[in-house]
Amino acid sequence: MTNYADEEPHYLLDSNIVSEIIKPEPNFNVIKKIGEHNSDCAICTPVWHELLFGLYRMPDGLNKKYLEKFIKDDVYENFKIKSYTEKTADIQAVLRAKLEAIGKPTQKEDSMIASIALANHMVLVTRNTRHFTAIQEVSDLQVENWFEPAAK
């Protein structure tokens, strides 16, 4: 019998990690970690929105066509997309209330991404670890920055 829970991705990638893949000179550590964990990575609906919003803001041309192919083919085909659900809405509301109570309100989008990671028992991978520090103070959110080389 297959245990489908074991097949769920373990890492939730923020948009700054996904967008690194397509850069002319991407960060070596990010590319290496994505290669190591490719089948174990996912994105979430807020990140999908950020990627598409960035695409649709671009002027028409070859760069936009190249980016559109990357997002709609490579990203969409290779990464599961975790949705914002009733469960994540509840987690986000709790997070925001706790953060407000300690005087550390956070951006709604960041708490949304964090709540999706928490609801799915995933490690959030981002370059912007500072954005999630306060959330970590009031939750079990795990955050990794793949731009930094692994500690020895």
Q: How confident is the model at residue 150 (pLDDT cuts 50, 70, 90)?
A: low
Share above pLDDT 70 across residues of the chain, in percent, rounded to a whole number? 93
**Residue 16: predicted pLDDT:** 95
Q: What is the token pair recorded at 130?
A: 């500072």
User: How does pLDDT run across 79-101, given as a tens digit for each residue?
Assistant: 999 999 999 999 999 999 999 99
- Report which DSSP code applies to 12: E
Orientation of helix 108-119 relative to helix 86-101, angle to 10°: 120
pLDDT given at position 3: 38
CA–CA dist 83, 16 (Å, integer):
19
Q: What is the pLDDT of residues 112-123, one digit of tens each?
A: 999 999 999 999
- Spatial CB neighbours of 52, under 8 Å, sequence gap ≥ 6: 71
